[in-house]
Amino acid sequence: MPIVLDKIDMSLINAMLEDGRRSYRQLARIANVSTPTAEARIKRMINSGFLKKIVPVFDAAKVEHGVSAIVYLKVDPHLVNEISSYLQSLEQIRNVFLTTGEWNMIIRIACSSNEELQSIMDDKIVRQGITIVNSQVITRTMKDEQGFIVSPDIRIGLTCDYCGGDIKGNPFKLKVGEGERYFCCKTCMNSYKEKYGARISKLNNNI
C-alpha cells in the first residue's frame, strides 16, 4: 500500500469535492503549491486508480420520478465473485455491498417504476445462487454521500500495471508522459518497458 495522501493531496481533494470544475491553476492556489505540482498530484491519484472520475452530483431528493430500493440477498458463498460482477454490470443496480452475516450481499436498485423494480427482481436478480431475503423501497433519500470519508493518511492500494497483482511494499515506478506507472517487481517493470518501449519514449519526448 505505497501511496499515502498528505496535506497537499487533502487540500486538493477537498477543493475538488467543493467544486469539481476548478482548474489545476485554481486548485494549486488553494493548496498553496505550484500548478505543475497540483497537476502531478492529481494525475498520481488518477493513475493509481484512486480518483476514478469527476462527475456532476445530482440531488436524489429533488427527483420526483423513479423508485429506489434496498435489496438484501443471500448469495452462494462459492459464487460471490461471479454474482457480484454480474450484478455490477446491470445499470439499474447502483450499489453492491458484500457484508458479514447470513445475508451476505446488499444492493441498491434505481429504476423508473414499481413495475420495473419488480421485473428487475424477477428477471434479472432471481437466478441460481441468489436468494432475495428482503427488499425495501426507499421512500425518501435524506442523505446520499460517497461511501467513505476522505481523511489524512488514507493509503491507496496499487496494482501492478503489468501483471495486475497487488503491490506490496514500495512500487517500482516508471515515468510515462506526464504520469507514472507502478509495478510490483523489477521483472514486471522491465517486461512493460520491453512491450511498450516505443510508445513510452514517444510520450516522454512529447512533454
Residue type, 93: I
Given 111, 160, 174, 189, the residue binding Zn ion (CB under 5 A): 160
Q: Which is nearer to Zn ion, 116 or 180 (CB)?
A: 180
Q: List CB contacts of 102: < 8 A, sequence separation 6 or more.
A: 74
Piece of the chain touching Zn ion by CB under 5 A; list 31-39, 91-99, 162-170, 193-201: 162-170
What span, in angstroms and rounded, lies between the C-alpha atoms of 10 and 154? 9
Residue type, 69: A
Q: Which is nearer to Zn ion, 67 or 185 (CB)?
A: 185
Q: Are 133 and 162 in contact, with CB atoms under 8 Å apart?
A: no
What is the nearest approach in angstroms of Zn ion to the Cβ of residue 171? 9
Q: Which helix (H) or strand (E) holds 119?
A: helix 114-119
What is the nearest approach in angstroms of Zn ion to the Cβ of residue 170? 13
For residue 40 the three cell numbers come to 502531478
Our finding on whether 158 is near Zn ion (CB under 5 A) is no
Our finding on whether 12 is near Zn ion (CB under 5 A) is no
| Site residues for Zn ion per CB under 5 A | 160, 162-163, 184, 188
